[in-house]
Structures are given as C-alpha cells and as structure tokens.
Amino acid sequence: MTSKVVYNGELRTECTHIKSGDSFMTDAPTDNNGLGQAFSPTDTVATGLASCMLTMMGIKANGLDIDLQNSEAEVTKHMAASPRRISKIEVKLTLPANISDKDRKILENTANTCPVLYSLHPDIQKEITFNWVL
C-alpha cells in the first residue's frame, strides 16, 4: 500500500504516506463548494507534475555532478467545466544559469520524460518552460 486517504467531512481529506507517516490535507476549491484552505485533489496532480520533473532532473544532475539546489517550479492549473477536469497545466521551471547547453538539453529531456508527465491524459495540455537564470 502506498497511501491511505480518510474523508474527514466538509469536503476535506487527510492523505497519509504509509512508509513515512507524512500526511497532508486536501480541501475542495472555492469554485467547487469548498473553502480552498488546502491543496485540492487536482492541485496535487498539477503540483505532482512539477515535483516529478524536478526530482527526475535532480537524479540526472547528481550523475552529471550538477547542483540544482534551490531550483523552483511555478505551477498553474486550469480547469474545464464539462466534464469538470484539468484542461491545462503550466509549469515554469527556474534553474541555475551556470549549466552548459549540452547539460541543459539532457536535463530538459529528463524533465520531459518524467513518469507523471507520461501518466497524464493526452487531452491535458502541458506547457513547460525552462528558465536558466538562477
């Protein structure tokens, strides 16, 4: 088992990672009857994409002896109405400037082949931007 999710009522869940015991709450968004006081389930999907991209880049960077510490991703999720679903995810990555063009291409390819990206439905638009400016 990977995780356990408990519905706490009032459109909130508590999600617990079995191996670590780490947990987080979700809340329905304000545009869908919730209070928006925590990540919504669809927020976690969009955020998971950016987290996966940075993690995979970090794994590859370790092998290339590159430090990606403090790299960031800004995530914007867009929803469609009928049926209600994620229609687009924008990920803007900000990464160190002192990386060669060759290594940038390797890292960008790594990010663009992360498991979450491959797991998202093809109808979801993905707009990925790499800014090498840190």
Cβ atoms of 3 and 15 closer than 8 Å: yes
- Per-residue tokens: 34: 């919730």
For residues 99 and 107, is the Cβ–Cβ distance under 8 A?
A: yes
Query: Token pair of 83, please?
Result: 């049926």
Which stretch of 16-20, 23-27, 81-85 has the lowest confidence by average pLDDT? Answer: 81-85
pLDDT in tens, 80-124: 999 999 999 999 999 999 999 999 999 999 999 999 999 999 999
For the stretch 58-84, pLDDT in tens is 999 999 999 999 999 999 999 999 999
The contacts of residue 42 (CB under 8 Å, 6+ apart) are 29, 77, 79, 86
Question: What mean pLDDT value characterizes the chain?
Answer: 97
